[in-house]
Amino acid sequence: MKKYNVVTTISYPKKGAMGKTGSWRIFRPILDKAKCVKCLRCWIYCPEATIIRNKDDTVSIDYEYCKGCGICANVCKVKAITMEREVKKK
């Protein structure tokens, strides 16, 4: 990445600038690929850009950063995404 030599405070782009925000989740979106009709509504509405649009318009979820808001599940018209309570890892 190009760094700039100027006399002011500059921040540089970074995925996870606030850390792994997946740890914020209380509920986890679970995708049932068999039900998905590739409408991409979850992809366009996800506020975090953590619904990944694959080449064939199927979708995957980036659990490292997904905050668990549940918007994807709520906008999916065929209920291919459900929210399930996170279980604490030991």
Q: Which is nearer to ligand SF4, 20 or 78 (CB)?
A: 78
Among candidates 50, 59, 52, 44, which has minimal Cα distance to 21?
50
* Contact (Cβ atoms closer than 8 angstroms) between residue 29 and residue 70: yes
Provide, rounded to whole angstroms, the least separation between the CB of residue 32 and other proteins.
Answer: 18
Tell me 17's DSSP state. T
Question: Quick one: which of 37, 52, 60, 86 contacts ligand SF4 (CB under 6 A)?
Answer: 37
Q: Which two tokens stand for residue 31?
A: 């995708």
Q: Name the site residues for ligand SF4 (rule: CB under 6 A).
A: 29, 31, 36-42, 46, 48, 50-51, 59, 61, 66-72, 75-76, 78, 80-81
